[in-house]
């Protein structure tokens, strides 16, 4: 990825999806009466939006602006964008452990994406920015790793609900 505008267009898409995923996870945690983890996810969504704004600003100041790419024109390493997370794993019984693990996976994929761009690009400015972004994603991953220590994996059978929410509340 040797063109700054192309790189920043990827960064914006990645942070968009990240913010969206965190809002979904926050809603899920609120629904399951876990306001602490919900608040963490709202904060992470906020960071993603700040990061997005930063990329938009850079694109406007240093390039002709963001590119208008079709979905198939994105150059992700995998099949989908690195920070999109496996939202199908969102389960109405999702525990903080599952939500935090899902978010951690996405942060690690984002970090790897930026690190890979930094390692392979021939554009000095792209390398510098990608390196910085990879560092920020690594920090996000560390925050989630710390939170995960407070929420151990649930016992087997955690998803067998003896009291479905429709009957409860
Ligand atoms: Zn992140």
Q: What is the pLDDT along the chain (169 residues), one digit of tens a residue?
A: 889 999 999 999 999 999 999 999 999 889 888 899 999 999 999 999 999 999 999 999 999 899 998 888 888 865 455 555 555 555 555 788 888 998 999 999 999 999 999 999 999 999 999 999 999 999 999 999 999 999 888 777 766 666 666 654 5
pTM summary value:
0.82
Would residue 53 be called left, alpha or beta, if left means φ above 0 and alpha means ψ between -120 and 50 degrees? alpha
Ligand 1 midpoint to CA 77 (Å):
17
- What would the two tokens of residue 62 be? 């240093």
Ligand 1 midpoint to CA 49 (Å):
10
Ligand 1 midpoint to CA 62 (Å):
23
pLDDT digit string (tens) for 144-158?
999 999 988 877 776
Cβ neighbours for 49, distance < 8 A, ≥ 6 positions apart? 15, 19
Tokens 């965190």 locate to 22
pLDDT at site 154: 78
Ligand 1 midpoint to CA 168 (Å):
36
- What would the two tokens of residue 73 be? 């024109």
């Amino acid at each position: 990825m040797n063109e700054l505008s192309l790189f920043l267009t990827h960064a914006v898409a990645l942070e968009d999806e990240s913010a969206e995923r965190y809002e979904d996870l926050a809603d899920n945690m609120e629904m399951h009466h876990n306001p602490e983890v919900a608040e963490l996810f709202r904060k992470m969504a906020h960071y993603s939006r700040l990061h997005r704004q930063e990329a938009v600003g850079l694109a406007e100041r240093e390039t002709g602006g963001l590119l208008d790419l079709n979905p198939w024109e994105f150059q992700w390493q995998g099949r989908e964008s690195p920070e999109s997370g496996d939202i199908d794993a969102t389960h109405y019984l999702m525990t903080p452990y599952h939500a935090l693990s899902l978010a951690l996976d996405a942060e690690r994929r984002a970090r790897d994406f930026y690190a890979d761009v930094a390692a392979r690009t021939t554009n000095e400015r792209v390398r510098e920015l990608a390196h910085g972004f990879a560092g920020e994603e690594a920090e996000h991953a560390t925050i989630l790793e710390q939170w995960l220590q407070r929420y151990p994996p649930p016992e087997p059978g955690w998803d067998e609900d003896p009291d479905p929410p429709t009957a409860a509340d």
